[in-house]
Amino acid sequence: MSAIMYAPELLAPPPIIWLPNDTAGVAKTEAIDLRKYHDIHVALDVHARDVILPKRSTSTRTHA
């Protein structure tokens, strides 16, 4: 008897979604929705650049 062939999506592990954490809370809301409605695990990056580092000024003025 031949081996049964399964579709790759049936054999693949469940996905884990990585989202960069943001100060507006969009990623956190998206993570809750993905878990609640789609049963998908989400990893929030608490070390996202916009949370830790303040935004730099983009001014081109130089001190003379």
The mean pLDDT value of the chain amounts to 78
**Inter-residue contact 48 to 25 (CB < 8 Å):** no
Predicted confidence (pLDDT) at residue 64 exceeds the cutoff of 60: no
Residue 58 pLDDT class (50, 70, 90 cuts):
low
Note the pLDDT of residue 32: 93
How would DSSP label each residue in 1-46?
-PPPP--HHHHSPPPEEEEE--TTSHHHHHHHHHHHHH--EEEEET
**Residues 64, 45: Cα–Cα separation, whole Å:** 41
User: What digits encode the pLDDT tens for the residues 8-34?
Assistant: 888 888 888 999 888 888 999 999 999
Q: Output the pTM of the full model.
A: 0.55
Note the pLDDT of residue 34: 93
